[in-house]
Amino acid sequence: MPRLAVANDAHLMRGALGRDPGIRGLPRLNVSSCGLVVTVHGSVPDAEARRLVEEAVRRVPGVEGVENKLVCGAPGTA
């Protein structure tokens, strides 16, 4: 039986983010989870990238909430 990505498996979560074409190529993000809530930290170039990351995380089966702590426009993300 194939294993589904669930919110408390940060490794699978990072894999899901890496496969999303809308956010591929962004700097590596930090992903953690507590229960079914996933927290993402890191720097992204702009608000659109921030939104795309959050949407990608919400699409992972088992995720019930997202704490988006991404910083927009930080040095090295342009």
Write out the two tokens for 63. 């995720």
Write out the two tokens for 31. 């992903």
Selected residue with higher pLDDT from 12 and 5: 12
Host domain of residue 55:
1-19+43-78
What mean pLDDT is reported for the chain? 80
With respect to residue 51, please indicate whether it lies within any of the assigned structural domains.
Answer: yes
Q: How far is CA 69 from the centre of its chain?
A: 10
Which pTM was predicted?
A: 0.76
User: Cα separation of 4 and 30, whole Å?
Assistant: 20
Q: Is the pLDDT of residue 8 over 50?
A: no
Tally of domains within the chain:
1
So what's the pLDDT on residue 43?
93
Q: For residue 61, how many C-alpha atoms fall within 13 Å in the half-sphere facing its CB? A: 3
Q: What is the mean pLDDT of residues 26-43?
A: 88
With respect to residue 32, please indicate whether it lies within any of the assigned structural domains.
Answer: no
